[in-house]
Each structure stands twice: as C-alpha cells, then as structure tokens.
C-alpha cells in the first residue's frame, strides 16, 4: 500500500520531444531531453501517485513505480494521452511538435541543386483539447518554453488553453531549459505568479508538485463551497 500526499491520485505525464517523419530517414524533432517530465513522474510516484508516463523518443530509463507508454509522433502522443484517461491530473511536459509534414513520402527523395519546399500542417493541441474534454482531469498543467516576455506569453497560454497552472521557462539562457540538468520556472495560475529555482530539475519537480497539490486542494474547497 503506497503512502504520500499524492496517494490515491492518478497522474498522466507527457515528456520529451516528438518526431514528425518526413521521409523514411528524416524527421522533424526538437531539443527537449525529457528530463523535466521524467523528474515530474519520478517525484509523483515517490509521493504515492499512480503515474502513467507518455514518453516521446528520449534516452531515459523508466522511473521506479511508473507505468510508461512510448510514442514517436504528436498524433501518437495525442492518442496515448487520451487512452490514458481518466486521470485526476494531467501534466503536459512534452515539447509536442506544433506542425507535422502534410505528406510523408514513402521513399527517400533524391537531392537536387534547387531549394526544397515542404508543406506542414498543424498538429492537434493535446493540452487544449484535454482542457475542454468531458473527461477533463481535475487539474490540467502545461509547460511553456519562451525566449522573451516569458510571463505575458505564458499567462496568455494559461487563459487560451484553459489550464489550471502553467510552468514557464526561458529557453536559450544558460542553466535553464531543454538540455540542462537545472531549470528555473515561473509558475502562473489564477492566484498569481511565483518563481521557482534555479534548481536541479529533480528538486524543481517536487516544488512544482507542491503547487499542484495546493491547486487541487483549492479546487476541492471551491467545489465544496459551490455545492
Ligand atoms: O503552445 P505551446 O506549444 O508553446 O504550448 C506548450 C504546452 O502545450 C506544453 O505543455 C505542451 O505539452 C502542450 N502542447 C500540446 N499539444 C501540442 C502542442 C503543445 O499538448 N500539439
């Protein structure tokens, strides 16, 4: 029997990059290492939650006590997240591709001297769809990687995607972001903005879960108050 402040909660965490295939040997990916999402899954399981980790292509071992589904593309991640419902909390830590090639050719194209033009189409926004789904988890948490105006862009995302909490980090600065062991986050919700870190991602994960647990408690209290 597990113990901990998240005992009895089912948490789904997405982590890492996605690969959008263009031709059999080329794909579109990004630099997300998956460390932040894996750290969240590790910390949540250690605190007693039942954790389902939906991982893009990353080089990381499955944390102890965590269930894991591996996916490759944004479409596969979308399907895996929705197949993992219902859950109490969704933490979207994956850097999901916003665009995918309109067509995947079956064979490797032969290069020519001229330029190459490819058409991309939008992927489905997992986080935004989940937040308005009838099976919406009680808490929907997003991440935002921004290069400037971090707080303003992240708050806009919080409202637009109907999230409960968003963790924003500044990419492109040393000691923070995608490939770093450390991170600094701005946590933004309806009650305000808090800064976390810089700290190792493993430590930040626990601080972020403290905020998640507090957010869930507030929701319970609100629900009680409003019948
Ligand atoms: O809009 P942007 O991609 O910056 O938002 C980042 C957040 O949205 C992350 O939490 C990411 O997991 C989520 N996201 C998603 N599905 C997408 C794109 C982003 O769930 N297709």
Q: What angle do CA 43, 170, 119 make, to 5 degrees?
A: 100
Q: Is the pLDDT of residue 1 over 60?
A: no
How many angstroms is it from 30 CA to the middle of ligand 1? 13
Rounded mean pLDDT of 82-107? Answer: 94
Q: Give the pLDDT score at 40.
A: 97
| Strand ranges inside the chain, DSSP E | 10-15, 20-23, 26-28, 50-55, 66-70, 89-92, 99-101, 120-122, 139-146, 165-170, 182-189, 192-200
pTM above 0.75, yes or no: yes
pLDDT digits (tens, 9 = 90+) for 16-68: 999 999 888 889 999 899 999 999 999 999 999 999 999 999 999 999 999 99
Catalytic pick among 26, 30, 67, 120: 30
Specify whether 169 is catalytic: no
Higher pLDDT, 226 or 57: 57
Q: Give the pLDDT score at 175.
A: 62
- pLDDT band with cut points at 50, 70 and 90 for residue 227: low
Contact (Cβ atoms closer than 8 angstroms) between residue 34 and residue 62: no
Q: Is the pLDDT of residue 224 over 70?
A: yes
pLDDT digits (tens, 9 = 90+) for 123-143: 999 999 999 999 999 999 999
Q: Is the pLDDT of residue 212 over 60?
A: yes
pLDDT digits (tens, 9 = 90+) for 142-201: 999 988 999 999 999 999 999 999 999 877 666 666 666 788 899 999 999 999 988 998
Q: Is the CB of 187 under 6 A from ligand 1?
A: no
Q: Is the CB of 92 under 6 A from ligand 1?
A: yes
User: Which residues are 189's β-sheet partners?
Assistant: 165, 192
Give phi and psi for 88, each to the nearest 5: -85, -35
Q: Is the CB of 163 under 6 A from ligand 1?
A: no
Rounded mean pLDDT of 75-96? Answer: 98
How many angstroms is it from 124 CA to the middle of ligand 1? 9
């Amino acid at each position: 029997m597990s113990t901990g402040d998240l005992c009895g909660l089912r948490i789904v965490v997405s982590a890492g990059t996605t690969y959008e295939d263009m031709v059999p040997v080329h794909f579109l990916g990004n630099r997300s290492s998956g460390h932040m999402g894996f750290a969240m899954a590790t910390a949540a399981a250690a605190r007693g939650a039942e954790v389902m980790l939906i991982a893009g292509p990353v080089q990381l071992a499955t944390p102890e006590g965590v269930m894991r589904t591996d996916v490759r593309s944004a479409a596969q991640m979308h399907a895996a997240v929705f197949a993992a419902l219902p859950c109490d909390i969704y933490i979207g830590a994956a850097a999901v591709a916003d665009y995918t090639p309109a067509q995947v050719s079956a064979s490797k194209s032969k290069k020519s001297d001229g330029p190459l033009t490819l058409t991309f189409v939008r992927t489905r926004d997992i986080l935004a769809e989940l937040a308005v789904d009838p099976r919406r988890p009680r808490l929907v948490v997003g991440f935002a990687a921004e290069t400037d105006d971090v707080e303003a862009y992240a708050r806009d995302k919080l409202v637009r995607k109907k999230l409960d909490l968003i963790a924003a980090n500044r990419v492109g600065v040393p000691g923070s972001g995608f490939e770093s062991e450390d991170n600094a986050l701005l946590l933004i919700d309806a009650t305000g903005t808090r800064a976390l870190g810089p700290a190792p991602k493993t430590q930040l994960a626990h601080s972020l879960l403290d905020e998640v647990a507090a957010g869930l408690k507030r929701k319970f209290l609100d629900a009680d108050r409003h019948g």
